[in-house]
């Protein structure tokens, strides 16, 4: 597992598993991540904690008791950690956020600036 990013929100690790890539996001309470649009579909699973997951601006309460959420390719998504949380995103693509939904990204940035 390789640490690829760390900041006030928490840390991001990436693990290759054959053709699959696992992105593990350790996220602190009240922090937001995402606003990304990927060119591949992914499964979003909460391993621990509670998050509010937004897929195309529709909110879903996601906990470790939920089944994975399927996020289709080219679909904007972000989440807010309601508790300290660990989330796994599994995909066949390479972890990289270079395409963002402007509105969703503004929301994520505003939430995170509340805790500067």
Domain, as residue range, for 56? 2-113
Confidence check: pLDDT of 98 > 80: no
Tally of domains in the chain: 1
In sequence order, the 6+-apart residues with CB closer than 8 A to the CB of 27 are 9, 10, 33, 49, 51, 79, 81, 84, 85, 86, 87
Each residue of 14-36: pLDDT tens digit? 998 788 889 999 999 999 999 98
pTM for this predicted structure = 0.90
CATH number, domain at 69? 2.60.120.10
Each residue of 23-74: pLDDT tens digit? 999 999 999 999 988 888 899 999 999 999 999 999 999 999 989 999 999 9
CB atoms under 10 Å from CB of 52, counted, come to 14
pLDDT at site 99: 84
The three state secondary structure string of 73-98 is: CCCCEEEEECCCEEEEEEECCCCCCC
């Amino acid at each position: 597992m390789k640490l690829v990013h760390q900041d006030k929100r928490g840390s991001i690790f990436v693990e290759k598993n054959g053709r699959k890539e696992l992105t593990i996001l350790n996220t602190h309470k009240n922090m937001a991540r995402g606003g990304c649009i990927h060119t591949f579909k992914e499964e979003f699973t909460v391993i621990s904690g509670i998050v509010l997951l937004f897929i195309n601006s529709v909110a879903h309460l996601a906990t470790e008791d939920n089944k994975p959420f399927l996020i289709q390719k080219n679909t904007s998504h972000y989440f807010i950690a309601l508790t300290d949380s660990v989330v796994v995103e599994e995909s066949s693509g390479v972890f990289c956020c270079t395409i963002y939904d402007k509105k969703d990204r503004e929301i994520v940035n505003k939430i995170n600036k509340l805790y500067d």
